[in-house]
Structure 1
């Protein structure tokens, strides 16, 4: 601590972290709220699972974009980018190999349609697709499988989340949901 009462001592960043190596590090302390479990279910049961509750409610309130027979598409409440969607089965299942063949097919088909609709509405330059299987792999809600569909634009990574503790999303989630749902092809 400093000798006077002006505040905490400023310590250079190079005094933190592991010993010298060939890696650069990007510190993202704003993610600690998410990592710490804010809004996560208390346990892995169906009763605690938000992905099991969402389909029983209003599509606009639940941010549901489209529904299939065995899977549905929803906006991510904690998006990496605008129009970050998730495709998931209605059934409470955590492991990809536990999907039925028809669930697997519909999940893949809805993922393809999600990419087509997002391309039509938002014109991204590319996508990240993926499933985080298990908490150790980064699944925020590991008990209910979900496929991420994250649109990407050139230059979409910026300093705001790190420095300003702010994620720049140019549109409200409700407006994004409405645009994507309106563009979704009829079944």
Structure 2
């Protein structure tokens, strides 16, 4: 690897990765899809018949959001075209809400398809939207294996919902 290339270290995710082959209770996105009453506890910020927007319980950064179809599919080519279109529009709109709600200066937006590509849930595809700020990495992960997330998930959830309403998105 060239010296100019930088690594994104996320050692706090080991708790999740160590249990990747045997997720408790099956697919968490399908559980969330079927548990409307648990939206607040599961940090579901929005849902429709075909999509879920969920704050990541193991965030890389404050506001790390997952955008997933409600269909349990691991491949883009297996999604109906209408769902695929709505998925991409939701990614666009969620990024807009996060930018306004959290004053994010940039974003990493990605999709990991397959276990070898880093998918923690390879059979239920989902986009990651990770807000970024200049200087959002610091000494804590390097020295202490600790990532500082400055806001509770419930607070981010509330800010997302309020900002989406203000912007007229995700009714």
**Common fold by TM > 0.5:** yes
* Correspondence for 2:139 among 153, 156, 159: 159
RMSD: 2.3
Deviation per residue, 1:9-39 (Å, 9 max, x gap): xxxxxxxxxxxx8548867654433332269
* Correspondence for 2:75 among 77, 86, 95: 95
Name the CA distance, whole Å, in 2 between partners of 1:130 and 1:142: 14
1:29–1:162: 8 Å Cα contact kept in structure 2? no
Name the CA distance, whole Å, in 2 between partners of 1:169 and 1:39: 26
Aligned length: 163
Name the CA distance, whole Å, in 2 between partners of 1:137 and 1:126: 23
Deviation per residue, 1:117-136 (Å, 9 max, x gap): 11111111111111011111
> Structure 2 stretches of 5 or more lacking a match?
none
**Structure 2 residue matching 1:144: 3-state secondary structure:** coil
| 1:110 positional shift | 0.8
Specify the alignment match of 1:136 in structure 2.
Answer: 116
2:20–2:120: 8 Å Cα contact kept in structure 1? no
Name the CA distance, whole Å, in 2 between partners of 1:122 and 1:55: 26
- Aligned residue runs from structure 1 range 10-29, under 5 A: 23=3, 29=11
What's the TM-score once normalised by structure 2's chain length? Answer: 0.85
> Structure 1 stretches of 5 or more lacking a match?
1-20
Specify the alignment match of 1:55 in structure 2.
Answer: 33
Specify the alignment match of 1:32 in structure 2.
Answer: 14
| 1:182 positional shift | 1.9
